[in-house]
Structure 1
Amino acid sequence: MFKISPLILLGIFFLGCQSTGPGTTKARNDVDALIASASAEIDAVLAGSSPTPGSSGGISSGGIEPRWVTAPESVYDRRTYISAVGYGNNRNTAERRALAALTAIFGQSIQSEAQSRIVYSEALSGGAISSASGNSDFVNLIKTSAEMDSLVGAEIKDLWFDGSGTYYAAAVMERAKTAALYRDLINTNQRLINDLTAVPEGERYTLDGLRRFQLAAAIADTNTTFLNVLRVLGDGSVGNIPVNMKTGNDYRLEIAAITKNIPIAVAVEHDQRDRIRRAFEEVLTKAGFRIGGANSPYLLTALVTIVPVDLPNNPNQFVRYVVDANLEDRRTGDLLLPFSVDGREGHLSIPEAENRAIRAAETKIKETYGPVLDAYIAQFSAAGE
Structure 2
Amino acid sequence: MRRIIPAAIIASCVAAAAWGSPKNPKPDWVDGSSMEYPRDQYLVGVGSADDRAAAEDRARAEISRIFSSQVSVNTQLSETETNAARTGTKGENTFSQSVSQSIETVSKKVLEGVEIPETWQDDATRVYYALAVLDRAKGLSAVNDKIADFDADIRQWYAQMVQATDKLPRVKAAMKLLALFKARAELNGELRVLDPGGKGSPNPVDEAAVRTTAAKALAELDVAIDITGSKSREVETGVVKGLTGFGLQASAGAPSGSVDILATGEVETNPVEGTDSRWKFARSYVTVSLKDGRTNKVFLQFDVNEKSASADYNTAARRSLANLSKKVAQQVSDGINEYFENQ
Say whether residues 1:335 and 2:298 are aligned partners: yes
Structure 2: runs of 5 or more not aligned: 1-21, 77-92, 99-103, 271-282, 308-312
- 1:89-131 CA deviation, whole Å, 9 max, x = no partner? 2224422443455578xxxxx664xxx66994249xxxx9xxx
Give the alignment partner of residue 121 of structure 1, picking from 74, 90, 107: 74
SS in structure 2 opposite 1:285?
A: helix
Q: Do the aligned partners of residues 77 and 252 (structure 1) sit closer, same or farther apart at CA in structure 2, a change above 3 Å counting?
A: same
- The whole-number CA distance in structure 2 between the counterparts of 1:364 and 1:179 is 43
What residue is the counterpart of 2:190 in the other structure? 226
**2:241 aligned with 1:289, yes or no?**
no
CA contact (8 A) 2:232 2:267 kept: no
Summarize deviations over 1:44-87 as a string: whole Å, max 9, x none. Answer: xxxxxxxxxxxxxxxxxx95236454475332355644444332
RMSD of aligned residue pairs (Cα, Å): 4.9
> Which aligned pairs between 1:196-275 and structure 2 lie closer than 5 A?
197-200=158-161, 201=164, 202=166, 203-206=168-171, 208-209=172-173, 211-232=175-196, 244=204, 253=212, 256-268=215-227, 274=233
Unaligned residue ranges in structure 1 (runs of 5+): 1-61, 105-109, 133-137, 146-150, 308-319, 345-352
Which residue in the other structure is 1:98 paired with? Answer: 59
Aligned to 2:25: 65
Q: Which residue of the partner structure matches residue 115 of structure 2?
A: 155
- Alignment partner, residue 261 of structure 2: 298
- Greater relative contact order (CA < 8 Å, ≥ 6 in sequence): 1
Number of equivalences: 267
Deviations 1:217-254 (A, max 9, x none): 231122321331343267xx97xx5662666x777655
CA shift for structure 1 position 166: 1.5
Residue 44 of structure 2 contacts residue 132 of structure 2 at CA under 8 Å; is this kept in 1? yes
Letter in 1 for 2:176: R
Shift of 1:364: 5.5
SS at structure 1 position matched to 2:265: strand
TM superposition shift of 1:356: 10
**Deviations 1:274-315, CA, capped at 9 Å, x for gaps:** 5554444333334332235523211122356899xxxxxxxx
Q: 2:74 is paired with a residue of what secondary structure? A: helix
Kindly state the Cα deviation for residue 369 of structure 1 after the two structures are TM-superposed. 0.8
Aligned to 1:369: 328
- The residue correspondences of 1:163-174 to structure 2 (distance < 5 A) are 165-174=126-135
Structure showing greater Rg: 2
Q: Greater shift after overlay, 222-231 or 358-367?
A: 358-367
Deviation, structure 1 residue 328: 1.0
Q: Which amino acid aligns with 2:259?
A: S
> How far does the alpha carbon of each residue in 1:170-221 deviate from its partner, in whole angstroms, 9 at most, with x for none?
2222243333333223223323444455545233454x44542342123112
1:316 equivalent in structure 2: none
Residues 13-52 of structure 1 mapped to structure 2, 5 A cutoff: none
Alignment partners' CA distance in 1, 2:227 and 2:170:
25
1:301 aligned partner, one-letter code: T
Distance 1:275 1:79 in 2: 57
**Given the two structures, how large is their TM-score scaled by the length of structure 1?**
0.52
1:85 is matched with which residue: 46, 51, 56?
46
SS at match of 2:152: helix
SS in structure 2 opposite 1:218?
Answer: helix
Local SS of the residue matching 2:327: helix
Q: Quote the Cα distance in structure 2 between the aligned partners of 1:173 and 1:111.
A: 12
Q: Distance in 1 between matches of 2:215 and 2:331?
A: 18
1:14 alignment partner in structure 2: none
Q: Tell me which residue corresponds to 1:9.
A: none
**Cα distance in structure 1, aligned partners of 2:154 and 2:319:** 43
